[in-house]
Chain A
């Protein structure tokens, strides 16, 4: 199934992503941000705070935004 995945880490990424049905937020995070810890990110599903075990559905909008972004 397809979701809109937004990763506001690094250079920023926003595009459609194919994932397996019944994928949870935690699983998606582990796959897309293997170097990161969920506690260090604002994780939103359809613009709302979510839990790590929330199951994703077709067309969901998922965003990961780091809580620590260093200015210059």
Chain B
């Protein structure tokens, strides 16, 4: 490498180290809030005063509310104290030396394909990731350097050339969703490296998490990455529905909605009513007691399909005609409510009336 080019690279590397070091210093200088909230304490004092007042005057009706208010205020103060104790126990953020930062960055340049500073984020690009034959490509690991938060590691993972799961665009890696790496057993050493300012270790740990597949705890399993297999047609699809009869998971094309109960069933379990020709689930189809052909409940009368119902005799026909005549006469004479079926007896006891 030409000396001038080498000098330029060294200057650029040093400039990067200085910028990163400045950001790490700024995060360590952010004050840790240890002040107990005055408003929480004041509320507790007021609630206590109120409770004592109510008890002294024996205001029994107001006592319950005063006790509840005191309990809420007490819990709020206890919670603040516990939070304060937790903050005091935390390891302080370490400011690594400028030389250590420079060495970490130089080692990162050798281990990863790209290292750069983007605003206050240190961005490192991993080597291409391949898990069980599935190529997921390179990932940007973006670490926020200026944040002092310990609870949420400021690490974002972005696929350079996304190849997300068929069922969920946000999952670009089995352990990455919406840019968030679910670090699992890597969480503790990642946090430790972040607090200590050990940039090389932090990115190495994150890269090894990306390179490891844990089938038991993935957002989307690798077997389902390109889609989920339909139990009926064997196609790979994004979404399956469970058959309400046999429990198989089938795609939309192999599923039917029962016309009677709206349950989803697979084509193998559904049947067609010979009466109305609607698709129905096994629970809603019954065999005609005479011919055995499948019919839905709406198409069966006393267990028989319309083809198997006995022919009505002359008396039944006459009765049916009389009924139809009566119904049409009633409708013509009184378009209002239908006439009552039973008349009130004339000899009814008036004392029974309300």
Q: Which A residues form the contact surface with B (CB < 8 A)? A: 6, 8-14, 42, 44, 46-48, 63, 65-72
B191 at the interface (CB under 8 A from A): yes
Given A6-B201, A65-B204, A71-B183, A12:B192 Cβ within 8 A: yes
Q: Are B208 and A72 in contact (CB under 8 A)?
A: no
- Main secondary structure on A side of the interface with B: loop
Chain B residues within an 8 Å CB radius of A14: 192-193, 196, 198, 201
**Which of A68, A69, A70 is packed against the most chain B CB atoms within 10 Å?**
A69
Q: In the complex, what residues of B have CB within 8 A of residue A12's CB? A: 188-193
Question: Are B184 and A69 in touch, CB under 8 angstroms?
Answer: yes
B181 at the interface (CB under 8 A from A): yes
Q: Is the CB of B186 within 8 A of A48?
A: no
Closest Cβ of chain A to B67, distance in Å, is 43
CB atoms of B193 and A71 under 8 A apart:
no
Indicate if the CB atoms of B209 and A69 lie closer than 8 Å.
Answer: yes
What's the A-B contact tally at a CB cutoff of 8 Å? 82
Closest 5 CB pairs of A and B: A71-B175, A12-B192, A12-B189, A72-B184, A70-B214
Which applies to chain B's interface (DSSP): helix, strand, loop or mixed?
helix
* Neighbouring A residues of B107 by C-beta, 8 Å: 44, 47-48
Contact A65 B201 (CB under 8 A): yes
Contact assessment for A70 and B104 in the assembled complex, using a CB-CB cutoff below 8 Å: no
Q: Decide yes or no: A68 and B212 within 8 Å by CB, A8-B204, A11-B189, A11-B192 being known contacts.
A: yes
* Cα-based distance from A44 to B111 in the complex (angstroms): 12
Question: In the bound complex, what is the Cα–Cα distance between A65 and B107 (angstroms)?
Answer: 15
Q: Is B76 close to A, CB under 8 A?
A: no
Question: A65 touching B175 by the CB < 8 A rule?
Answer: no
Nearest-Cβ distance from residue B57 to partner chain A, whole angstroms? 56
Known: A12-B191, A13-B192. 12 other contacts (CB 8 A): A10-B189, A12-B189, A42-B204, A65-B201, A65-B204, A67-B211, A69-B183, A71-B182, A71-B183, A71-B210, A72-B183, A72-B217
